Amino acid sequence: MGGSANMPETPSLHLEQALWAQGYKFIGGMDEAGRGAWAGPVLAGLVILPADPGIRLTLAGVRDSKKMTALQRSRAAPTIKSVALAWSVGTASSAEIDEIGILPATRLAFSRAIQQANILPEYLLMDYIHWPGLKNPHQMMPRGESQSLSIAAASVLAKTTRDQMMVRLDEQYPGYSLARHKGYGTAIHAEALRQLGTCDIHRKSWLIGH
């Protein structure tokens, strides 16, 4: 299926198909959301797609979540969940990020997503993250969400779940426009910090260093 101006290219399944041919049935695509934010948790999504190349047609339009609109992501997420053999989203809180650092916290969110999945992935496909000692069979690659449909699907679930969390946090912590910028470092967020200071969900370790 080729891309067009109206339907951007959906990532291929060439990595998954190679692994299916090797006998792996449960291949977990994984990606994170919120790693670069000033506030809120970091989330990691995991998606195990069925070993069916036709799934690419079912998930047409699913791609790197950053290249999709909020409406496209919100429409795609239920479809991803309905067709996946398993999916999960792991979380590491802003307090955990402050305690252990963003990279270890990101790895913690990935680990929690793996633990929470109702099927244990036999092999992981992941966007690149420094993770010495990862024991699961895996392949990491830069821009993985553009190379693997499983990773792209995971990126959509991580992003939509985190966005929903930030909308709820906006109600608990008004004044920061969290529902609008989702905790990222925008001018609006910076101005709110100048006027209000930080709140419980801000990553103090990052803000102190900047």
Cα separation, 90 vs 13, in Å, equals 24
Strand 42-48 versus strand 138-141 pairing type:
unpaired
- Token duo for residue 74: 């919100």
pLDDT digits 0-9 by tens, 24-57: 999 999 999 999 999 999 999 999 999 999 999 9
pLDDT digits 0-9 by tens, 63-107: 999 999 999 999 999 999 999 999 999 999 999 999 999 999 999
pLDDT digits 0-9 by tens, 154-173: 999 999 999 999 999 999 99
DSSP string, 25-43: --EEEEEEE-TT-SBS-EE
CATH class of 14-161: alpha beta
Q: pLDDT class for 208, splitting at 50, 70, 90? A: low
Kindly tell me the number of DSSP H helices and DSSP E strands found in the chain.
9, 5
Reported as type and span, the H/E element at residue 124 is strand 123-127
- Token duo for residue 159: 């992003």
- Token duo for residue 17: 């198909």
Q: From 44, 18, 38, select the one nearest 115 (Cα to Cα).
A: 44
The pTM for the full model equals 0.94
